[in-house]
Structure 1
């Protein structure tokens, strides 16, 4: 195996374990997908079949705590399983992820969750409230897409892309949360911030009406927040710290 693919596999497998640690699991469902580096596939996506993009996804039927570098499934944009992987994938998950990978330049990693806080906020008519420290850091960064049922129909793809535009934090109405990033740590930083915003909103609304953050202040918070900026690591330091925690608990994801 090309060393760059092995590195990507270990990073993604570690991320699945981190999601499990944080409680962002949904039995055997939901997905994190990551593009295999072009250096490991033979070139760029414009160079023909050998250079077409490949992606890694969790094997369908395994809990996130069972995901390892070796059992991740490699697929192409069509969802065809490559390299004779032993496990199938969940088509309902990959349709949505492949839409973003193919349709958004730089969407090298896509994450999707059904956390209680995320689905709850996604099910509110008012959606995400600009009323806490975390949502204020996402000013102008959040897209919403209306619920169209289980995401198994490719014809929904253009509407998903139109809803998202260039926004990296996405609320799928009545469904859950999604993020994408140019790197896995960046996608994680966006999703973590969106998840925290939903958690705090849920707690606030259980006590009363949220106190809105003024537009100008929220815009300033987003400008001042450096955690998504590639020039400041784009979440790499936070992700590395969590990987070290996983390593102390169980490093079998590297296998």
Structure 2
């Protein structure tokens, strides 16, 4: 067995450390929920007070191994800003740098390759209005056609245009992407997105499906604010951290 190095806590502001802890928690929660794809997807978060800088995973670490100290800080050109011996995923940088640069409100960007998500992304009709969960995704959803592994800068404008001002992006034949005003919001958005895809695949396997009335989808954002009492993702995030501390402690190291 090759052990991971014990990386020291980086010198940073309290605000950056809090973001690191939340982002590391999101990585481990993705693993806990079974959405990880070995080391091949990514989550990023903006560094508070440092325009253009964001945090992303050290390439080669499993999501269940990520800690707050291990996260790599990079600038808008992908140059490391902290002393970290691990590289970053080049495809991850292309996708995340594009979204962070274009969306001031996208403080966290989360991308997955789940079986359910990729299955629905391969369907011509995309997400269908089959469930209560689907109305929240459909009210803020874009689609981006597959162009191969995301390694080319010239794909960035199309990706950003397809996301628009939405919070959900289906990457055709590839997977799912969500954004959030913070880490908890991006995670909750992905929970909904993944749930929608899992329900759709199962519902389609059972035969003919009933669709939700489009008028209901139009009011989904207002309904989401009501059902969470205006707290949004903060309603569930503390509980998720408690679950993570019980089952997969150590993310805040």
Do the structures match in fold with TM over 0.5? yes
The Cα shift of 1:203 comes to 0.5
5+ residue gaps, structure 1, are 46-52
Matched, 1:125 2:124: yes
- The whole-number CA distance in structure 1 between the counterparts of 2:232 and 2:99 is 20
Which residue is 2:3 aligned to?
A: none
SS at match of 2:190: helix
The Cα shift of 1:173 comes to 0.5
Count of matched residue positions in the alignment of Structure 1 and Structure 2: 242
Relative to structure 1, is the Cα distance of residues 252 and 107 closer, same or farther in structure 2, using a 3 angstrom cutoff? same
Which residue is 1:241 aligned to?
A: 239
The Cα shift of 1:185 comes to 1.1
Matched, 1:210 2:221: no
Relative to structure 1, is the Cα distance of residues 228 and 192 closer, same or farther in structure 2, using a 3 angstrom cutoff? farther
Preserved CA contact (<8 Å) 2:27 2:43: yes
Preserved CA contact (<8 Å) 2:130 2:209: yes
The Cα shift of 1:227 comes to 7.7
Deviations 1:212-242 (A, max 9, x none): 111112223443112898x822201212211
Which residue is 2:23 aligned to?
A: 12
Which residue is 1:194 aligned to?
A: 193
- The whole-number CA distance in structure 2 between the counterparts of 1:155 and 1:166 is 20
Which aligned pairs between 1:1-255 and structure 2 lie closer than 5 A? 1-38=12-49, 41=50, 45=51, 53-226=52-225, 232-255=230-253
The Cα shift of 1:9 comes to 0.8
Preserved CA contact (<8 Å) 1:189 1:227: no
Deviations 1:88-146 (A, max 9, x none): 10111110110000011211100000011100000001111011111122333110011
- The whole-number CA distance in structure 2 between the counterparts of 1:148 and 1:166 is 21
Please tell me the root mean square deviation across aligned C-alpha atoms, in Å.
Answer: 1.6
Preserved CA contact (<8 Å) 1:56 1:73: yes
- The whole-number CA distance in structure 1 between the counterparts of 2:227 and 2:148 is 31
Q: With structure 2 as the length reference, what TM-score do the two structures score?
A: 0.91
Preserved CA contact (<8 Å) 1:145 1:172: yes
The Cα shift of 1:82 comes to 1.4
Preserved CA contact (<8 Å) 1:35 1:56: yes
The Cα shift of 1:181 comes to 1.0
- The whole-number CA distance in structure 1 between the counterparts of 2:226 and 2:74 is 30
- The whole-number CA distance in structure 2 between the counterparts of 1:85 and 1:13 is 16
5+ residue gaps, structure 2, are 1-11
Preserved CA contact (<8 Å) 1:130 1:212: yes
